[in-house]
Each structure stands twice: as structure tokens, then as C-alpha cells.
Amino acid sequence: DKQQATKRLLSEQAYHITPTQYKTIVGDAATYWAFECLVNDRGAFGPAELADITGLPKAALEAGLKKLAAHKLARRVGAGRYKSPLTGKFYMFPKTFPGIEAYRKRLAKIISEMVARRGAITHESGVMIRAEEGSVLRSIAAMRDALEASTAYSVYEKAEGSGVFLLQIRARKALDF
């Protein structure tokens, strides 16, 4: 099946973030946002520039950059500036490991706090339907493929109107009926 082959090819081409690397990335807001800035730009950044971009403390960002470098998610390129070897590459966070839910919740909080502090909600939409759960799960799989395809629109240099956007799919069961 073409869809399965595409998923397998993406998985084989992707850089798989290890659970240890993931725990480091989402360990605190400064490390997470340093990671996001580095993987989303081909340039090099130091803590002062990241502080200007994120509004987070320079010292926390400097510590975050060092953590990322220690886990091979960033490399120092001179004078306190760092780049990521993952820029422009498709990478995947781990799907499961013991305790992952606590890290996912932490990450959701880190992102929500940044959106509230520096960002904006650019679009929300949804629909309430009555359906069998299996049908909903199949629908989500199709939406997930479209979501992953949206990475084709990524830019890795500053452009007018560019920003870091979270695109997500969320399904919540409201009640049994």
C-alpha cells in the first residue's frame, strides 16, 4: 500500500530523537525554545539572540544550549554560538517510553505559555460529530498525513511573516452516546 510505503520511507529517513534526548529537550522552556530556534533556522545563535527572540532569560538559554550540545542536538560553532545538525531534516520525537505522558504535558504547558506570552492563535476550527471510534481514528490518520505533509512549507531563514507555528490535530470524546 502506497501510504504505508511512504510512512516507512519517512521513518527510515527521519532522525529519531531518543527518549533521553526528548527528556532533555522538554526539560525546561529555555532548552525547548533553544532547540526549536536552532532546528528552524540555518543560522547560528547565541543566548543573547535567543533571549531577544523568546523573551526567556539569557542564562537559562545558555544552559539549554549546553544541554542540547551535550546530547548532540546542537554544536558550538564559535564564540558561544550554536547550530543544530537537525535543521532542515525530518525528525521524530519518541512515540512512547515509560513516563512519556508527564513529558508531553510539560511540553504542552511550555508551548501554551509561549503562545500566551509572545504568540497568537491564528486559527481554530472543529466539528462535533457522532461516530464510531474506529471511524474517528481512521479520519485522524488521514489528517495526520496531511499535517506531516505541511512540513513542505517550512522555511529555514527569516522571512516576512515567518514564525514558529504549532499545527496539531486533537480529537476528544465528549461523551458516550
User: pLDDT tens-digit profile of 28-68?
Assistant: 999 999 999 999 999 999 999 999 999 999 999 999 999 99
Q: Are 61 and 50 in contact (CB under 8 A)?
A: yes
- Residue 112 is predicted with a pLDDT of 95
- Residue 102 is predicted with a pLDDT of 96
Query: How would you classify residue 11: left for phi > 0, otherwise alpha for psi between -120 and 50, otherwise beta?
Result: alpha
pTM (predicted TM-score): 0.85
User: pLDDT tens-digit profile of 117-142?
Assistant: 999 999 999 999 999 999 999 999 88
